[in-house]
Structure 1
Amino acid sequence: MRRLAELLLLAALALVALPGQASLPEPVQALAPAWRKLGSGDASFLGLRLYGASLWVSGQAYREDAPFALALTYARGFSRDTLVSTSLDEMRRLGGADEARLARWKSALERVFPDVAAGETIVGVHLPGRGAAFYHQGRLSGEVMDPAFSRAFFAIWLDSRTRVPALRSRLLGAPS
């Protein structure tokens, strides 16, 4: 019984102590000068940690018209289908696009998102006026060259109407 309790404690600590994104992958670093982490925090649902997030900026502050990167390190595995459908649901909720555009974006997301396992990281990079690039475990998984897509996608976390306002605040550098 004691051994089982120790194993459960270790498993719980592993979920809490998943490493955050300490630095950006080299290919992302090459996209803009002087990246710095602006803020970070966790997203949870019903008390279960889903992922840790970090917002990186090139400059002193977050600006929609400048490059930025959002790194998500997952605390549990998620299928590509879950990532795609959740992203589209949130973009729809925020009014980011009509149904025809969302259908096109669904195909793009299916192309760039992999299934993720616990501990894996996806970094999304906002490329102003061009779109977004996505990196899974440091390797380019794809690009969506549509500025409207990029704005709608990153609004999931950075819009004032986000479902995760505490995380948004932490990402934007507010003290915890």
Structure 2
Amino acid sequence: MRKVFIRYCIILLIFSISWDRPLLANPIEPTHITELHLPNFSHSGHGTFTKFGFEIYQAHFYVDEVKAVKKYAIILNYSRKIEKEALLKATIEQLERLGYSSKKTDEWKNQLEKIYPNINKGDHLTAIFNPANGTTFVYGDKIIGNINNPEFAEAFFGIWLSPKTSAPELRSKLLVNNCPPLIFQTQACQ
């Protein structure tokens, strides 16, 4: 019985190490999206989000200006298939973790239900913030929705950029070349 258990553990370890690993150590920038939707933005940084040792997505963060960030975008390149309901649930859990009320998150959930797609491995989901029109969502190359609410934008982008994020290492990698947007700064940028 013990030998079977040890073999099982070894197989799980090998499987978890090799499962769905990216082919490249450095993720490639999704230039087709940036050329189309973010022509004057600069790449701030990128990192990989994992859960239980499995890569979920590679994130790229873009800004319009290095020091006084007003417009910004995050591109998520998914490493696996994720159903719309699971994506929605994970988003709402993160928003609640950041301290937003269930009243607010229910309102945003209703809006996101109309926007979020089912995700396939290799898909890109982009969120672009512009103070003039809020948060625009792009799936692949197609605009799929917009939420024009500054509080939503702060909450949504806070999933990655807030000092209270559940992924502080990813936050550091996304902001490696720039200051965070003003709403996420904990100190003045140099």
Return the TM-score normalized by structure 1.
Answer: 0.82
Aligned to 2:66: 60
Aligned to 1:48: 54
Q: Give unmatched runs, 5+ long, in structure 2.
A: 1-13, 178-190
Write the letter of the residue equivalent to 1:28: H
Q: CA deviation at 1:45?
A: 1.1
> For the Cα contact (< 8 Å) 1:105–1:149, is it kept in 2?
yes
Q: CA RMSD in A?
A: 2.2
Aligned to 2:83: 79
Over 3 Å counting, the alpha-carbon distance change for 1:21 and 1:112 in structure 2 is farther
Flag the structure with larger Rg. 2
- The answer to whether residue 42 in structure 2 is matched with residue 39 in structure 1 is no
Superposition misfits of 4+ residues, deviation over 4 angstroms: none
Residue number among 140, 157, 166 corresponding to 2:169 in the alignment: 166
Residue number among 110, 128, 146 corresponding to 2:131 in the alignment: 128
> For the Cα contact (< 8 Å) 1:78–1:117, is it kept in 2?
yes
Matched length: 159
Over 3 Å counting, the alpha-carbon distance change for 1:21 and 1:15 in structure 2 is same
Over 3 Å counting, the alpha-carbon distance change for 1:110 and 1:150 in structure 2 is same
Residue number among 113, 116, 119 corresponding to 1:116 in the alignment: 119
Aligned to 1:105: 108
> For the Cα contact (< 8 Å) 1:62–1:172, is it kept in 2?
no
> For the Cα contact (< 8 Å) 1:37–1:57, is it kept in 2?
yes
Q: CA deviation at 1:20?
A: 3.7
Residue number among 141, 145, 150 corresponding to 1:138 in the alignment: 141
| Corresponding residue SS for 2:117 | coil
> For the Cα contact (< 8 Å) 1:38–1:61, is it kept in 2?
no
* 1:71-99 Cα deviation digits (max 9, x unpaired): 00000010111111111111111013x22
Q: CA deviation at 1:142?
A: 0.5
Q: CA deviation at 1:129?
A: 5.7
Q: CA deviation at 1:131?
A: 2.0
Return the TM-score normalized by structure 2.
Answer: 0.76
Distance 1:165 1:39 in 2: 14
